[in-house]
Every structure is written in structure tokens, then in C-alpha cells.
Amino acid sequence: MTVAFSGQTQSAIEFAADLFRGAKRAVVLTGAGLSTPSGIPDFRSEGKGLWSRDEPLEVASLSTFRIAPERFFQWFRPLANQIFNAQPNPAHRALAELETAGRVRAIITQNIDVLHQKAGSKRVIEMHGSMRTLSCTQCFQQVESAPYLKPFAETGAIPHCPQCGAVLKPDVILFGEQLPQTAWYEAQREARQCDLMVVAGSSLEVLPVAGLPIQALDRGAHLIIINNTSTYLNVRADVNILEDVASILPAIAERTLHG
């Protein structure tokens, strides 16, 4: 289906495609807005985001998980169900196509849903962990999540370690928990070495990841921002497109790869 854009948006798409074609090291930073078209709620949207219904430090913090894991899992269950049933949308597929064509060097994502990998992306740096695995809170054994989280999503049964019986924690970063060090160093290296950074579906409100585009800009990189709402860096971007990523990214990929 062909999407009709305004003249201004079409010009922005063409400019973004020109930047992609001229870039040697393009890096994409993605946030929750990239996965909302796949049915996964974001965190901060007015009235619909997860934090409009719950206080994050009460349900999704490391201290809550340690003291009352059942409270975390009660909050997490609907989200786990949505993630298990989600499929990549056209934005994920467009980024995978650009990567396959050599136009995207890496994707830095704040998302935990593994939809980039499902779409075919190979180089994905997960800043907030992912739903692929769980780790035991006592003996630290790591297990694949599907055999545990699928029954949990369906029945609410809290997953326990097959080895020692302790509670298993999804390998996602909770409030009060440090970012994975290897991923953070890798993301900073990509931001500092890229000549084009694309922010897609992120409001750039969560530090320290929200500071990565500044590291790119400070070293002379171009910046494209595609998001439904404005960010603190829109004033410094070469291209700003305040529209749905699931429509815009496929259009940019089409223009970049096929003219």
C-alpha cells in the first residue's frame, strides 16, 4: 500500500535518503515508539503509556523485584503476553533491509522485545536487556525464556530456576539497575564513530541512552529524528519527521535503496 505524504514530509524523506546514501557508518537508535505499531505499549504516551497507569519505581524497580517479585510479575504479565504475540512491523523490516544492503552499521535499541532480530537485523545492541533469557536470582543460571515466560503469560505462574528453585528474573534492566556494561561501551563507540545517527521512535527522555546522539553530533555526524512527538534534540537535527515510524522508515528505505 502506498502512503500519501505531504509535500513537506516527502521532501524530508528524500533528504533523509540522501543522507543515508552519503553515509559510510549509519547507526540507528530505536525506542518504544518503534514497537507500538506491533501492539506493544510504550511507557510515556499520555493516557496509554505504561507509566500513565503505574508508578514505575513501585512495580518495575530492582528493589521491588527483590522484596516482592510477585508484584513485579503481576504488572509484567500483560506486557509479557503482548511481547510474545508481537510481530515485526514495517519499520523493523525497513531497518533490517537497510542493514542487509550495507546502509546501517548497527541498531542501538532501548526495546526488550527482540523484534529487530525477528525482522532480520543482525547487529542489535540491546541497552535495556531483552526477553530472550532469564537468570536465577540465587545461583545465576541463565535459561531460555520461552519455556518459562509463555506459561507465565498464560497462567500467571512465576518462573522458578530448574536447578535451585529460586525465582527467575527476566534479563531486562529494571529501575535501579545498571545498564549492561558491554552494550553501553559498544553503543558509545558506535555513536562516536558514526557519520549519521537516526533516532526512530524514541522521545530521548531516558538517560544515559538519550545522550548518545549528542556524542554523535559532537563528532560531526548528521542526525535524523523520526518520532510522533518532539525531542530535546530536534533543534539540532538535519531532518525532523513527526510522523509514524512504520510509514516513514519504509519510505526512506525505499528511496535510499531504489531511488
Residues near 97 by Cβ (< 8 Å), separated by ≥ 6?
Answer: 120, 253, 257
- Cβ-contact 149, 159 below 8 angstroms: yes
Q: Are residues 253 and 151 in the same domain?
A: no
Q: Are residues 228 and 121 in the same domain?
A: yes
Inter-residue long-range contacts of 71-75, CB under 8 Å, 24+ positions, other chains counted: 72/174, 73/152, 73/156, 73/158, 74/156
Which residue among 172, 199, 232 closes a domain?
172
Q: Are residues 239 and 206 in the same domain?
A: yes
Task: State how many domains the chain has.
Answer: 2
Q: Are residues 6 and 119 in the same domain?
A: yes
Q: Are residues 123 and 135 in the same domain?
A: no
Q: Are residues 142 and 58 in the same domain?
A: yes
Number of H helices, E strands in the chain: 10, 9
Q: Are residues 195 and 237 in the same domain?
A: yes
pTM over 0.75: yes
Each residue of 88-118: pLDDT tens digit? 999 999 999 999 999 999 999 999 999 999 9
Q: Are residues 147 and 257 in the same domain?
A: no
Burial category of 243 from C-beta neighbours within 10 Å (exposed 0-12, middle 13-18, buried 19 and up): middle
Pairing assessment for the beta strands 124-126 and 142-144 based on DSSP bridges:
unpaired
Q: Are residues 165 and 187 in the same domain?
A: no
- Which CATH number does the domain housing residue 182 bear? 3.40.50.1220
Q: Are residues 78 and 183 in the same domain?
A: no
Task: Please give the residue range of the domain that contains residue 70.
Answer: 45-85+131-172
Catalytic residue among 92, 116, 128, 222: 128
Q: What Å distances lie between residue 258 and 21, 172, 249, CA to CA?
A: 11, 37, 14
Each residue of 25-45: pLDDT tens digit? 999 999 999 999 999 987 544
Each residue of 179-229: pLDDT tens digit? 999 999 999 999 999 999 999 999 999 889 999 999 999 999 999 999 999
Q: How confident is the model at residue 56 (pLDDT cuts 50, 70, 90)?
A: low
- Which CATH number does the domain housing residue 75 bear? 3.30.1600.10
Q: Are residues 103 and 203 in the same domain?
A: yes
Q: Are residues 146 and 250 in the same domain?
A: no
β-sheet with 196-200: strand ranges across:
124-126, 106-109, 26-30, 196-200, 222-226, 239-241
Q: Has 160 been annotated as catalytic?
A: no
Each residue of 67-93: pLDDT tens digit? 999 999 998 898 888 888 899 999 999
